């Protein structure tokens, strides 16, 4: 009977540590593969020059979150085509950004894009930093899993202390 109790307490600590490892890997993975690339893309186009768009051949919104564009621009005497809508991926602002670009393209107002001077074939129509999306990614997908991992480690240590007497 004591052996069964020992195994179940040991298993509880193991489960807590395993959950902590999963949460830590999720938080670090979201930081490395979503948050940091998002910020570096925004910073790449932060001080990029504005160049007039010569032709906007396609702008449509798919699946309420994904905007498909195709535009042509001239930079340093060469013509380039890009299919990138924005540099910083957002949760909430894409509808408003899409409507603003769509209405600007339908009117007679000039449309501009941001061109990366280091790589002129890279351009975006929108280069806004969305603080809500940044904090949602940071707190919701990085810090929250890491804080849950700390709690799981605490629970595992508690179970280990109970086991050791």
pLDDT in tens, 47-84: 899 999 988 888 777 776 677 888 999 999 899 999 88
In the chain, helix, strand, coil percent, each to 5? 55, 20, 20
pLDDT tens string, the chain, 165 residues long: the values are 444 445 455 788 888 889 999 999 999 999 999 899 989 989 999 889 999 998 888 877 777 667 788 899 999 989 999 988 888 877 665 667 777 777 777 777 788 899 998 899 999 988 888 888 889 889 988 999 999 999 999 988 887 787 776
Q: 161: part of which helix (H) or strand (E)?
A: helix 144-164
- Confidence at residue 66, expressed as pLDDT on a 0 to 100 scale: 75
Residue 78 pairs with which residues in a beta bridge? 75
- Confidence at residue 64, expressed as pLDDT on a 0 to 100 scale: 61
- Look up the pTM and report it: 0.74
Q: 104: part of which helix (H) or strand (E)?
A: helix 94-106
Give Cα 155 to chain centroid, integer Å: 31
- Assess contact for 93 and 129: CB atoms under 8 A: no
Size of the chain, expressed as the number of residues it contains: 165
- Confidence at residue 33, expressed as pLDDT on a 0 to 100 scale: 92
- Confidence at residue 25, expressed as pLDDT on a 0 to 100 scale: 93
C-alpha to C-alpha distances, 74 to 46, 69, 71, nearest whole angstrom? 19, 17, 10
Q: How far apart are CA 136 and CA 122, in angstroms?
A: 27
């Amino acid at each position: 009977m004591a052996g069964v109790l020992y195994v179940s307490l040991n298993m509880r600590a193991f489960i807590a540590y395993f959950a902590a490892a999963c949460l830590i890997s999720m938080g670090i993975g979201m930081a490395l593969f979503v948050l940091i690339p998002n910020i570096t893309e925004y910073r790449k186009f932060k001080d990029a020059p504005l160049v007039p768009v010569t032709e906007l051949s396609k702008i449509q919104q798919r699946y309420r979150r994904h905007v498909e564009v195709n535009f042509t621009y001239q930079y340093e005497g060469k013509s380039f085509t890009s299919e990138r809508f924005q540099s910083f991926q957002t949760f909430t602002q894409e509808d408003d950004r899409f409507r603003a670009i769509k209405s600007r393209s339908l009117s007679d107002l000039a449309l501009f894009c941001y061109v990366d001077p280091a790589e002129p074939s890279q351009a975006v129509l929108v280069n806004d930093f969305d603080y809500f999306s940044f904090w949602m990614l940071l707190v919701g997908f990085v810090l929250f899993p890491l804080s849950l991992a700390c709690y799981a480690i605490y629970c595992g240590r508690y179970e280990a202390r109970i086991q050791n007497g």
